[in-house]
Structure 1
Amino acid sequence: MTTMENEARLILDLTEGFIKSQILFTSLKLGIFDLLDTSAGPMTASRISEAIRTDTDATKRLLDACAGLGLLQKVNVDKETGDGEYQLTRASRAFLTSSSPTNLGGYVKVFSSFYKFPWADLRKAVKEGPAFVTRQNQDNTSDIFKIFFSNQILMDAMTGLPTVFGAKTASAFDLSEFRRMCDIGGCTGPLAYHLAAAYPKAAVSVFDLSEVVKVAEDRRPVGEHGQRVSFIPGDFFRDPLPPADLYVVCRTLHDFTEDKVLTLLTKMHDSLPLGGGVLIAEYMLDDDKTGPEVAHKYDLHMFLTGGDRERSGQEYKRLLTMVGFTEVTVRSSSYPLGHVLARKAPKYSARL
């Protein structure tokens, strides 16, 4: 391709991107991936359409589109008619089936709802600014967090990413010196279990709302590392933090304004022993705010959904330093999250 053709393709790929999303959203909502997961073998379009009660021709077009996107594999194809059978790919079996421990289906379903609102109103939101978000939140919910945790799909969305990518957070720094780790707002513990597996000498806890803790036990994995994670109910703004020498906050600080972030970081600093640390995992912007793409997408998403914003490593370093943390190290290059580790400096006695 010429340079002009490549540049045109970039624009067209962005223009048509919503079509790919809708193919995925629709296939998931229709139950196609779970149906193939429980099937004894590949299935024809007519069998799938009969099982999910849809039009056969439209279903075949959707299945072929899934195969073209790498969501399904088409096998036993008739060279004359193009008809064949469909089965899961390794990716769809791992991330789009209810039976998989790394299922991202809940996360995908949540975004299929956000596609209609508030993302469809992005133009209006950009014109109106915070007034748009305030009005929409008042119209749709008085307490977004209570609704969030009362919905099973949304709970699945919270746990999907750290289940898949939590090992990267656990290994972003050598945390072996910390013996009491507490995941603040850690939901049902997916990241905590990765921490427990990576650091067998550490006691790991999760501090989250009582509504979350009530269902956490049902999601405890088998194995020794699963038994070393405990759950403590509480509100991290209102209640004292559990004792720990390392606090972990993953995809939490972007929900709050700078004042609230400073309040929470101060609370962590005051609760830590000397030499203790805080590990932050967030979608992290480059210092010049030109990337990465994933952080910019979620920066707008935070704005639209009533959160606050994504921040750069330097912005987190400034906030941490303001409340007294030192030795702040930023590692922002991993996908999807960047990481920051900071310590509470020992207090040296004045010279006599």
Structure 2
Amino acid sequence: MLLYAGRTAYVCWRHLAEAVREGRNQYLKAFGIPSEELFSAIYRSEDERLQFMQGLQDVWRLEGATVLAAFDLSPFPLICDLGGGSGALAKACVSLYPGCRAIVFDIPGVVQIAKRRFSASEDERISFHEGDFFKDALPEADLYILARVLHDWTDAKCCHLLQRVYRACRTGGGILVIESLLDTDGRGPLTTLLYSLNMLVQTEGRERTPAEYRALLGPAGFRDVRCRRTGGTYDAVLARK
């Protein structure tokens, strides 16, 4: 993750003052890439894409089990990890909940690298599905995981995605949002505030408070929204259909 940050994130941070003044990411200045193309800088070559996927692989190797144990997910036999990358979180999920199966949903380029380079594709309990979660049909599942996804996008795009997830979700199922939660007043924790600045220089989104995630999930149709802090970098929000 540090290697990825050095070649992509820190290049954008050189333009932090401009990001604050303009209120938008700095891909155009940093890479000559339009600001709307969020992952074009991260995925600008297969090597950069692999580096990013390896970074997330290591994040979930360290933190996946903790955040997946924040709630009992055993009642959900089929789990779909949207934007699941290498399948590291899916692998942690089937290890923690042996009775479940997992689908990793991501764009074709990411899925192809995952199948070639990462071990999750060898686990018969994990399958991979190619697509764009904003446009393409989502696989039917009992639980959808959105890990480090919603913080990339505007409220409007988050609402659109959550509505699509709600429609695809089986009755009685749910959604697990994994993000670093801001305090109620939005003034901490310090690490989460720094992540939110990183979202400013790199994405359209930001980190959010529990109340702000409830405000996104409720209008999409989800109910019984519960938030749990894990004591680690990432926290969990579970909501039901």
- TM-score of the superposed pair, with normalisation by structure 2: 0.90
1:286·1:332 contact (CA, 8 Å) conserved in 2?
Answer: no
Q: Does 1:305 align with 2:202?
A: yes
In 2, Cα distance between equivalents of 1:300 and 1:110: 17
Q: Does 1:194 align with 2:100?
A: no
Q: Match for 1:201: what amino acid?
A: G
Deviation per residue, 1:234-293 (Å, 9 max, x gap): 111111100101000100111111011001100111111221100000111111112112
Q: Match for 2:178: what amino acid?
A: A
2:74·2:97 contact (CA, 8 Å) conserved in 1?
Answer: yes
1:280·1:339 contact (CA, 8 Å) conserved in 2?
Answer: yes
- 1:1-352 aligned at under 5 Å gives the runs 107-114=1-8, 116-130=10-24, 133=26, 135-136=28-29, 139-140=32-33, 143-149=37-43, 150=46, 151=48, 152-217=50-115, 218-221=117-120, 226-344=123-241
In 1, Cα distance between equivalents of 2:92 and 2:16: 36
Deviation per residue, 1:272-328 (Å, 9 max, x gap): 122110000011111111211221111000000133111111110111111111110
1:313·1:332 contact (CA, 8 Å) conserved in 2?
Answer: no
Root mean square deviation of aligned Cα: 2.1
Structure 1 residues 271 and 331: CA distance shift in structure 2, 3 A: same
Q: Match for 1:258: what amino acid?
A: D
2:66·2:230 contact (CA, 8 Å) conserved in 1?
Answer: no
Larger Rg: 1
Report the 3-state secondary structure (helix = DSSP H, G, I; strand = E; otherwise coil) of the residue aligned with 2:32. helix
In 1, Cα distance between equivalents of 2:96 and 2:193: 30
Q: Match for 1:172: what amino acid?
A: A
In 2, Cα distance between equivalents of 1:137 and 1:115: 10
2:166·2:221 contact (CA, 8 Å) conserved in 1?
Answer: yes
Contiguous gaps of at least 5 residues in structure 2: none
In 2, Cα distance between equivalents of 1:139 and 1:121: 13
Q: Match for 1:286: what amino acid?
A: D
In 2, Cα distance between equivalents of 1:239 and 1:338: 28
1:206·1:232 contact (CA, 8 Å) conserved in 2?
Answer: yes
Q: Match for 1:274: what amino acid?
A: T
Could you say which structure has the higher strand fraction?
2
Report the 3-state secondary structure (helix = DSSP H, G, I; strand = E; otherwise coil) of the residue aligned with 1:319. helix
Could you say which structure has the higher helix fraction?
1
Report the 3-state secondary structure (helix = DSSP H, G, I; strand = E; otherwise coil) of the residue aligned with 1:275. strand
- TM-score of the superposed pair, with normalisation by structure 1: 0.63
In 1, Cα distance between equivalents of 2:211 and 2:42: 30
Structure 1 residues 222 and 134: CA distance shift in structure 2, 3 A: closer
Q: Match for 2:29: what amino acid?
A: Q
In 1, Cα distance between equivalents of 2:119 and 2:184: 38
Contiguous gaps of at least 5 residues in structure 1: 1-106, 345-352
Where does residue 26 of structure 1 map in the other structure? none
2:90·2:103 contact (CA, 8 Å) conserved in 1?
Answer: yes
Report the 3-state secondary structure (helix = DSSP H, G, I; strand = E; otherwise coil) of the residue aligned with 1:318. helix
Structure of higher RCO (CA pairs closer than 8 Å, 6+ residues apart): 2
Identity of aligned residues (%): 35
CA displacement at 1:134 relative to structure 2: 6.8
Report the 3-state secondary structure (helix = DSSP H, G, I; strand = E; otherwise coil) of the residue aligned with 2:237. strand
